Protein backbone atom coordinates (compact mmCIF):
# COMPACT_ATOMS: atom_id res chain seq x y z
CA UNK A 1 0.00 0.00 0.00
CA UNK A 2 1.73 3.16 -1.19
CA UNK A 3 -0.80 5.86 -0.25
CA UNK A 4 -2.35 6.36 3.18
CA UNK A 5 -5.06 8.93 3.85
CA UNK A 6 -4.01 10.57 7.10
CA UNK A 7 -5.77 12.88 9.54
CA UNK A 8 -4.41 15.00 12.35
CA UNK A 9 -6.81 15.91 15.13
CA UNK A 10 -6.11 19.29 16.74
CA UNK A 11 -7.80 19.76 20.13
CA UNK A 12 -8.03 22.20 23.01
CA UNK A 13 -8.00 19.70 25.87
CA UNK A 14 -9.24 20.56 29.34
CA UNK A 15 -8.47 18.88 32.67
CA UNK A 16 -11.66 16.76 32.35
CA UNK A 17 -10.59 13.37 31.00
CA UNK A 18 -14.07 12.05 30.23
CA UNK A 19 -14.94 15.21 28.31
CA UNK A 20 -11.67 15.05 26.36
CA UNK A 21 -12.14 11.37 25.46
CA UNK A 22 -15.58 12.18 24.10
CA UNK A 23 -14.36 15.20 22.13
CA UNK A 24 -11.42 13.34 20.58
CA UNK A 25 -13.53 10.26 19.82
CA UNK A 26 -16.13 12.34 17.97
CA UNK A 27 -13.41 13.96 15.88
CA UNK A 28 -11.76 10.60 15.15
CA UNK A 29 -15.12 9.24 13.93
CA UNK A 30 -15.49 12.24 11.64
CA UNK A 31 -11.98 11.68 10.27
CA UNK A 32 -12.87 8.07 9.53
CA UNK A 33 -16.04 9.25 7.75
CA UNK A 34 -13.78 11.44 5.61
CA UNK A 35 -11.74 8.40 4.60
CA UNK A 36 -8.83 8.48 7.06
CA UNK A 37 -6.89 5.25 7.50
CA UNK A 38 -4.35 6.69 9.95
CA UNK A 39 -5.55 9.21 12.55
CA UNK A 40 -3.11 11.05 14.82
CA UNK A 41 -3.93 12.98 18.00
CA UNK A 42 -1.80 15.40 20.09
CA UNK A 43 0.27 15.06 23.22
CA UNK A 44 -1.88 14.99 26.38
CA UNK A 45 -4.92 14.41 24.20
CA UNK A 46 -7.19 13.54 27.13
CA UNK A 47 -5.78 15.72 29.89
CA UNK A 48 -4.18 19.16 30.02
CA UNK A 49 -3.97 19.37 33.80
CA UNK A 50 -2.06 22.11 35.63
CA UNK A 51 0.46 21.34 38.37
CA UNK A 52 2.58 18.23 38.78
CA UNK A 53 0.68 16.89 41.80
CA UNK A 54 -2.59 17.23 39.91
CA UNK A 55 -1.18 15.43 36.88
CA UNK A 56 0.02 12.54 39.01
CA UNK A 57 -3.29 12.34 40.88
CA UNK A 58 -5.25 12.21 37.63
CA UNK A 59 -3.04 9.58 35.95
CA UNK A 60 -3.74 5.85 35.68
CA UNK A 61 -1.67 2.68 35.32
CA UNK A 62 -1.58 1.50 31.74
CA UNK A 63 -3.67 -1.63 32.30
CA UNK A 64 -6.57 0.38 33.73
CA UNK A 65 -6.27 3.64 31.82
CA UNK A 66 -9.77 4.62 30.67
CA UNK A 67 -8.51 6.67 27.73
CA UNK A 68 -6.37 3.85 26.38
CA UNK A 69 -9.24 1.39 26.66
CA UNK A 70 -11.62 3.80 24.91
CA UNK A 71 -9.21 4.45 22.05
CA UNK A 72 -8.38 0.77 21.61
CA UNK A 73 -12.07 -0.03 21.25
CA UNK A 74 -12.52 2.87 18.83
CA UNK A 75 -9.60 1.85 16.60
CA UNK A 76 -11.02 -1.66 16.34
CA UNK A 77 -14.58 -0.46 15.71
CA UNK A 78 -13.54 2.00 13.00
CA UNK A 79 -10.88 -0.29 11.46
CA UNK A 80 -8.23 2.45 11.58
CA UNK A 81 -4.70 2.89 12.84
CA UNK A 82 -4.73 5.46 15.63
CA UNK A 83 -1.88 7.41 17.21
CA UNK A 84 -2.84 8.35 20.75
CA UNK A 85 -0.46 11.31 21.01
CA UNK A 86 0.24 10.77 24.68
CA UNK A 87 -1.37 9.80 27.97
CA UNK A 88 -0.13 10.26 31.54
CA UNK A 89 0.62 6.71 32.73
CA UNK A 90 1.28 6.13 36.43
CA UNK A 91 4.67 4.57 37.27
CA UNK A 92 5.97 2.62 40.27
CA UNK A 93 8.37 5.51 40.93
CA UNK A 94 5.46 7.73 41.96
CA UNK A 95 5.87 9.81 38.80
CA UNK A 96 4.20 9.30 35.44
CA UNK A 97 5.33 8.45 31.93
CA UNK A 98 4.31 10.71 29.06
CA UNK A 99 3.49 7.77 26.79
CA UNK A 100 2.48 7.73 23.13
CA UNK A 101 0.58 4.73 21.75
CA UNK A 102 0.25 3.56 18.17
CA UNK A 103 -2.83 1.35 17.92
CA UNK A 104 -3.48 -0.98 15.00
CA UNK A 105 -6.86 -1.52 13.39
CA UNK A 106 -7.64 -4.35 15.79
CA UNK A 107 -7.08 -2.15 18.81
CA UNK A 108 -3.74 -3.71 19.65
CA UNK A 109 -0.68 -1.72 20.68
CA UNK A 110 1.69 -1.70 17.70
CA UNK A 111 4.12 0.64 19.47
CA UNK A 112 4.42 2.60 22.68
CA UNK A 113 6.97 5.31 23.37
CA UNK A 114 7.83 7.28 26.51
CA UNK A 115 8.97 10.87 25.90
CA UNK A 116 12.74 10.82 26.27
CA UNK A 117 13.56 14.52 26.49
CA UNK A 118 11.84 16.42 29.31
CA UNK A 119 10.91 20.08 29.00
CA UNK A 120 12.69 21.91 31.87
CA UNK A 121 12.80 25.53 30.75
CA UNK A 122 12.18 29.12 31.84
CA UNK A 123 10.60 31.29 29.16
CA UNK A 124 10.34 35.05 28.93
CA UNK A 125 7.41 36.50 30.84
CA UNK A 126 7.84 34.19 33.82
CA UNK A 127 6.49 31.05 32.14
CA UNK A 128 8.30 28.04 33.61
CA UNK A 129 8.15 24.28 33.04
CA UNK A 130 9.78 21.43 35.01
CA UNK A 131 8.58 18.20 33.47
CA UNK A 132 11.27 16.20 35.25
CA UNK A 133 9.53 16.91 38.57
CA UNK A 134 6.48 14.98 37.36
CA UNK A 135 7.60 12.64 34.59
CA UNK A 136 10.08 9.80 34.25
CA UNK A 137 11.97 10.25 30.99
CA UNK A 138 11.89 7.43 28.48
CA UNK A 139 15.00 5.44 27.63
CA UNK A 140 14.05 3.74 24.36
CA UNK A 141 13.42 4.95 20.82
CA UNK A 142 10.56 3.04 19.19
CA UNK A 143 10.18 2.08 15.52
CA UNK A 144 6.81 0.44 14.79
CA UNK A 145 5.77 -1.64 11.79
CA UNK A 146 2.65 -0.46 9.93
CA UNK A 147 0.99 -1.44 6.63
CA UNK A 148 2.73 1.60 5.13
CA UNK A 149 6.24 0.92 6.39
CA UNK A 150 8.13 1.78 9.55
CA UNK A 151 6.98 4.60 11.85
CA UNK A 152 9.26 6.34 14.33
CA UNK A 153 7.66 7.71 17.50
CA UNK A 154 8.51 10.91 19.38
CA UNK A 155 6.79 13.60 21.45
CA UNK A 156 6.98 17.41 21.39
CA UNK A 157 10.31 18.58 22.91
CA UNK A 158 12.06 15.61 21.29
CA UNK A 159 11.95 17.55 18.01
CA UNK A 160 14.90 19.64 19.23
CA UNK A 161 17.14 16.56 19.36
CA UNK A 162 17.87 15.67 15.71
CA UNK A 163 19.95 12.60 16.50
CA UNK A 164 16.75 10.76 17.55
CA UNK A 165 15.22 11.38 14.13
CA UNK A 166 18.46 10.53 12.36
CA UNK A 167 18.39 7.16 14.06
CA UNK A 168 14.86 6.64 12.78
CA UNK A 169 15.84 7.68 9.26
CA UNK A 170 18.85 5.37 9.30
CA UNK A 171 16.62 2.53 10.48
CA UNK A 172 14.27 3.02 7.53
CA UNK A 173 11.39 5.03 8.97
CA UNK A 174 8.98 6.28 6.31
CA UNK A 175 6.89 8.26 8.79
CA UNK A 176 7.75 10.03 12.05
CA UNK A 177 5.11 11.24 14.49
CA UNK A 178 5.57 14.28 16.74
CA UNK A 179 2.41 14.78 18.83
CA UNK A 180 2.84 17.99 20.79
CA UNK A 181 1.54 20.60 23.19
CA UNK A 182 4.00 23.29 22.06
CA UNK A 183 3.92 26.57 23.95
CA UNK A 184 2.93 29.67 22.01
CA UNK A 185 6.28 31.50 22.35
CA UNK A 186 8.38 28.53 21.24
CA UNK A 187 5.81 27.53 18.64
CA UNK A 188 5.86 30.91 16.92
CA UNK A 189 9.65 30.85 16.82
CA UNK A 190 10.56 27.27 16.02
CA UNK A 191 7.66 24.81 15.43
CA UNK A 192 7.50 24.78 11.64
CA UNK A 193 11.21 25.13 10.94
CA UNK A 194 12.17 22.28 13.28
CA UNK A 195 9.56 19.91 11.88
CA UNK A 196 10.39 20.68 8.26
CA UNK A 197 14.08 20.19 9.04
CA UNK A 198 13.42 16.75 10.56
CA UNK A 199 11.47 15.75 7.43
CA UNK A 200 14.10 17.08 5.00
CA UNK A 201 17.12 15.71 6.87
CA UNK A 202 15.71 12.19 6.91
CA UNK A 203 13.60 12.13 3.75
CA UNK A 204 10.45 11.02 5.53
CA UNK A 205 6.91 12.16 6.28
CA UNK A 206 6.43 14.02 9.56
CA UNK A 207 3.01 14.07 11.23
CA UNK A 208 2.74 16.59 14.06
CA UNK A 209 -0.70 16.94 15.71
CA UNK A 210 -0.84 19.72 18.29
CA UNK A 211 -2.84 21.12 21.16
CA UNK A 212 -4.23 24.62 20.68
CA UNK A 213 -5.71 27.45 22.71
CA UNK A 214 -5.78 28.22 26.43
CA UNK A 215 -5.78 25.48 29.05
CA UNK A 216 -6.08 25.21 32.82
CA UNK A 217 -3.59 27.51 34.56
CA UNK A 218 -3.78 29.94 31.61
CA UNK A 219 -1.21 27.92 29.70
CA UNK A 220 -1.42 28.51 25.95
CA UNK A 221 -0.48 26.07 23.20
CA UNK A 222 0.39 26.96 19.64
CA UNK A 223 -1.74 24.69 17.46
CA UNK A 224 -0.66 24.77 13.78
CA UNK A 225 -0.64 20.97 13.44
CA UNK A 226 1.37 19.92 10.40
CA UNK A 227 1.74 17.09 7.94
CA UNK A 228 5.02 17.44 6.03
CA UNK A 229 6.33 15.56 2.99
CA UNK A 230 9.85 14.10 2.69
CA UNK A 231 11.03 16.98 0.48
CA UNK A 232 9.83 19.48 3.09
CA UNK A 233 6.51 20.57 1.55
CA UNK A 234 3.66 21.25 3.97
CA UNK A 235 0.76 19.01 2.91
CA UNK A 236 -1.67 20.15 5.60
CA UNK A 237 -1.53 22.89 8.23
CA UNK A 238 -3.99 23.79 10.96
CA UNK A 239 -4.52 27.23 12.43
CA UNK A 240 -5.11 28.02 16.08
CA UNK A 241 -8.54 26.39 16.48
CA UNK A 242 -9.55 22.74 17.00
CA UNK A 243 -10.22 20.78 13.84
CA UNK A 244 -9.47 17.84 11.56
CA UNK A 245 -6.81 18.20 8.87
CA UNK A 246 -6.19 15.64 6.14
CA UNK A 247 -3.50 14.70 3.64
CA UNK A 248 -2.65 11.76 1.41
CA UNK A 249 0.79 10.36 2.14
CA UNK A 250 2.29 8.81 -1.00
CA UNK A 251 5.01 6.62 0.46
CA UNK A 252 6.81 6.43 -2.88
CA UNK A 253 7.88 10.03 -2.20
CA UNK A 254 10.22 8.75 0.53
CA UNK A 255 12.42 6.86 -1.92
CA UNK A 256 12.28 9.77 -4.36
CA UNK A 257 13.48 12.27 -1.75
CA UNK A 258 16.22 9.97 -0.50
CA UNK A 259 17.29 9.32 -4.08
CA UNK A 260 17.63 13.03 -4.85
CA UNK A 261 19.78 13.72 -1.79
CA UNK A 262 21.03 10.41 -0.33
CA UNK A 263 22.42 11.97 2.82
CA UNK A 264 21.39 8.99 4.97
CA UNK A 265 24.13 7.07 3.14
CA UNK A 266 26.74 9.76 3.72
CA UNK A 267 26.98 9.90 7.52
CA UNK A 268 30.55 9.43 8.68
CA UNK A 269 32.01 9.03 12.16
CA UNK A 270 34.43 11.75 13.19
CA UNK A 271 36.36 12.77 16.29
CA UNK A 272 35.73 16.07 18.04
CA UNK A 273 38.91 18.08 18.48
CA UNK A 274 39.46 20.96 20.87
Q: Where are the beta strands (DSSP E) in 178-232?
A: 205-208, 212-215, 219-222, 226-228
φ, ψ of residue 39 in degrees (nearest 5): -120, 130
Is 184 marked active-site?
A: no
DSSP state of 138: P
Active-site option among 40, 49, 156, 253: 156
Active-site option among 43, 49, 131, 253: 43
Active-site option among 49, 115, 131, 184: 115
Select from 216, 152, 220 the least CA-distant residue to 181. Answer: 220
- Strand order in 173-177's β-sheet? 142-146, 149-153, 173-177, 205-208, 226-228, 234-237
Is 156 marked active-site?
A: yes
Q: Which residues contact 271 (CB under 8 A, 6 or more apart)?
A: none
Is 40 marked active-site?
A: no
Catalytic residue annotation: 43, 115, 156
Amino acid sequence: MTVVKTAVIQVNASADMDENIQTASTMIRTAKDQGAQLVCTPENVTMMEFGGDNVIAASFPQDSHPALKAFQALAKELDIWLLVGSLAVKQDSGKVANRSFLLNNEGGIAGQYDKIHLFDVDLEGGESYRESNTFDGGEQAVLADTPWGKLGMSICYDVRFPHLYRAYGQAGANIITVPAAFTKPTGRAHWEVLLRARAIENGCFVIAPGQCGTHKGDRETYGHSLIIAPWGEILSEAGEEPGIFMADLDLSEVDKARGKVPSLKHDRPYPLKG
